[in-house]
Amino acid sequence: MYELRNITEDQLDALKEAGNIGAGNAATALSTLLCQDIDMKVPAVRICHFNELIESIGGAELPLAAIYLRVQGDAPGNMFFLLQPAEAELFVHYITGNESFSWSNTSHDDINLSALHEMGNILAGSYLSAISDFAKVNMQPSVPQISVDMGGAILANGLIEIAEESDYTVVIDTVIALSDPNQQQHMVEGKFLLLLHPDAFGHLFRALGVEEDD
Amino acid sequence: MTEAEIFHVGIADAKIATYPDHLRTAGLGSCVGVVVYDKQKKIAGMAHVMLPDSSLAKQTQMNRNKYADTALDDLIANLLRRGASKSRFKAKLAGGAQMFSFMSSDEKMRIGPRNIEAVEQKLREYRIPIESKDVGGSNGRTIEFNTNTCGLKIKTVSKEEAII
C-alpha cells in the first residue's frame, strides 16, 4: 500500500495525465452523442483531507445531483459525476428533448431518469476505459446509481473504504461543460471526481512508469 | 447577553459545547451523528462517525473520532472531565442512511445500518438511554443540537424540518 505522504510530484502529474485522458475521452463521447462541442478544463489532482474535499464541492449541505459508481479491478476506487440539480434537469431536457422532467416529479421508472443513467454509464465508461487502456490496468465500473442529495452525504460513500486507511484522499477532478448553442455561456457544468483506493496506487504508478524505487 | 455560537463538527470529528452554544454537523449520509448530553448542566458533545469499529483501522495513527466505538469513548470522557454527570447522560442520534441502493447486496457497503448498530451498542455499554433518533432511510441529513432545549433539529433536502 502507498502512503499518501510519499506520493511525489511526478506521480501526481502522471495521475493528472490519466485524468486528462479519461475526461477527454468522456467529453469526446458526449460530444459525438449530442453533436455538440464540449469544453473541458485541465484536470486538478490533489491530496486533501475529507473535509477539504467536501468544501471543494460547495460544502456538506449543498444539494447535488450525482451519478455514482464503484470501480473494481487493479485500480479500485469510486467515481462521481456531479451536477447542480437544476443543471442536471437542463441536461435531461437537452438529451431527451422532453422539458417536463424535474426532480420534484420524477419516479424510479421515469424514462428521463433512465436517460440520465445511460448518460452516466457512457461518460464514466469512456472515462475509465481510456485510463484503463492508457495505463494497461483493469478497471471495472459498476452500474451507476443516481442520487440528488446533500454533497457530504453523497461523497461519504466514496470515502468509506479509503477511511479505513487514511483521513486524506487523492482527488482527480475534471470539469466538462456543455454550452447552449445559441448563447455563449455554459448551460451545464459537470464535475468528474475519481477517488482512488490506496490499493490502486501501486498498480497505477507501476503501469504509468512512475514507481519510486526507494 | 452572549450570542449563541454554532460549533461545526466535520466528518470524522467531534466537539463539546455548553449553553448557549449549538452543535451542528452537515451532510450526514451513511455516517451517524451522535449527541451525548447532560441537560441539567447544559453541556453536550457531538461526534460525526464514519465507520463502526476501530478494529477496522489499518492506520498506525488513527483518528479516534472516525469510529463509533472510540469516538464515544472520548466524547464521554471529555464530557465527564468538563463536569457532566454520567447518571444524567442521554443521547440522540441521526444518520446511517443508505444513499445508493446497490449497496444493499454488498455487506461491506451496508455501512449506514452498521454505524447505527455500533453507536447503539456502545451507548448500551455505557447505559446511556437514547431519547430520540432519526436513522436509516436513503436521504442525507444536517443536524443541529440546542444545548438549552436539548432539541435536535433535523434538516433534509426534501422533507420538512423536524426537531426530535
Q: Which residues pair with B66 in a beta bridge?
A: none
Q: Annotate chain B with three-state secondary structure.
A: CCCCCEEECCCCEEEEEECCCEEEEEEECCCEEEEEEECCCCEEEEEEECECCHHHCCCCCCCHHHEHHHHHHHHHHHHHHCCCCHHHEEEEEEECCCCCHHHHHCHHHCHHHHHHHHHHHHHHHCCCCEEEEEECCCCCEEEEEECCCCCEEEECCCCCCEEC
Does any domain span residue A16?
yes
- Taking an 8 Å cut-off on Cβ atoms, the answer to whether A51 and B63 are in contact is no
Backbone angles phi, psi at B67, to 5 degrees: -110, 140
pLDDT in tens, A151-190: 999 999 999 989 988 899 999 999 988 876 666 667 889 9
Burial bucket for residue A12 (CB in 10 Å: 0-12, 13-18, 19+): middle
Question: Which of B26, B66, B111 is opposite residue A60, by nearest beta carbon?
Answer: B26
Distance CA A34, CA A97 (A): 11
Q: What pLDDT score was predicted for residue B108?
A: 64
What does the block give as the cell for A128? 475509465
Comparing CB atoms, the residue among B51, B99, B102 nearest residue A163 is B51
Question: What size, in residues, is chain A?
Answer: 214
Print the domain residue range for A169: 4-84+117-207
Q: Model confidence at B105, in pLDDT bands (50, 70, 90)?
A: low
- A35 occurs within a structural domain: yes
Q: How far apart are CA A71 and CA A121, in angstroms?
A: 12
A157: chain B residues, CB-CB within 8 Å: 29-30, 99-100, 103, 109
Q: How many domains does one find in chain A?
A: 1
Backbone CA torsion sign across A85, A89, A90, A94: positive
**What nine digits make up the cell of A162?**
479509503
Write the CATH number for A196.
3.40.1550.10
Q: List chain B residues with CB under 8 Å of A153.
A: 27-31, 97, 99, 139-141
Q: A67 and A37 in contact (C-beta within 8 Å)? A: no
Stretch A66-87: mean pLDDT: 93
DSSP H or E segment with residue A185: none
Could you count the other beta carbons within 10 Å of the beta carbon of residue B127?
9
Q: Is the pLDDT of residue A79 over 90?
A: yes
Tell whether B141 lies on the interface with A, counting CB pairs under 8 A: yes
Q: How confident is the model at residue B1 (pLDDT cuts 50, 70, 90)?
A: low
E strands, chain A, are: 38-40, 44-49, 63-73, 77-83, 139-141, 145-150, 168-179, 186-196
Q: Is residue A95 part of a domain?
A: no
Q: Does the beta carbon of A52 lie under 8 angstroms from any beta carbon of chain B? A: no
Q: State pLDDT tens for residues A83-118.
A: 999 999 988 988 888 888 888 887 777 888 888 888
Q: Which residues of B touch A147 (CB under 8 A)?
A: 99-100, 138
A167 → closest Cβ in B12, B28, B97:
B12
pLDDT tens digit sequence for B20-38: 999 999 999 999 999 999 9
Chain B CB contacts of A165 under 8 Å are 58-59
Minimal C-alpha gap between B153 and chain A (Å): 14
Among the partner-chain residues B28, B66, B108, the one whose CB lies closest to the CB of A153 is B28
Contact A50 B51 (CB under 8 A): no
pTM of the model: 0.91
Q: Which residue has the higher pLDDT, A113 or B131?
A: B131
pLDDT above 90 as % of chain B: 84
| Residue A214: predicted pLDDT | 47
Do the Cβ atoms of B87 and B128 come closer than 8 Å? no
User: Quick check: A153 and B11 CB within 8 A?
Assistant: no
**Best of B144, B153, B157 to disrupt the A interface by mutation (most A CBs within 10 Å)?**
B157
The single residue listed with the C-alpha cell 455499554 is B125
Q: What is the mean pLDDT of residues A12-22?
A: 91
Cα B11 from Cα B46, distance rounded (Å): 11
So what's the ipTM on this one? Answer: 0.91
Looking at residues B119-147, what average pLDDT do you find? 97
pLDDT tens-digit series, residues A26-62: 999 999 988 888 888 888 999 999 999 999 999 999 9
Q: How far apart are CA B36 and CA B82, in angstroms?
A: 13
Angle between helices A85-96 and A111-135 (to 10 degrees): 100
**Which of A63, A148, A157 lies nearest to residue B29, judging by beta carbons?**
A157
pLDDT at B109 over 90: no
Average pLDDT over residues B153-163: 94
* Cβ distance of B100 and A150 shorter than 8 Å: no
The DSSP 8-state label assigned to residue A209 in this structure reads T
Residue A89 lies in a domain: no
- How many Å apart are CA B150 and CA B18, to the nearest integer? 11
Measured in angstroms, the CA of A159 and the nearest CA of chain B are apart by 9
Q: Does B51 touch chain A (CB under 8 A)?
A: yes
Task: Estimate the crossing angle of helix A198-207 against helix A9-34, to 10 degrees.
Answer: 90
Class of domain B6-163: alpha beta
Q: List CB contacts (< 8 A) between A141 and chain B.
A: none
Of A124-138, A184-198, B130-144, the least confident = A184-198
pLDDT, one tens digit per residue, over B63-97 is 999 999 999 999 999 999 999 999 999 999 999 99
Q: With contacts defined as CB-CB under 8 Å, which chain B residues touch A108?
A: none
pLDDT tens for each residue of A136-155: 999 999 888 999 999 999 99
CA within 13 Å, CB half, B66: 24
Asked if B15 reaches chain A (Cβ–Cβ under 8 Å), the answer is: no
- Asked if the structure places residue A65 within a domain, the reply is yes
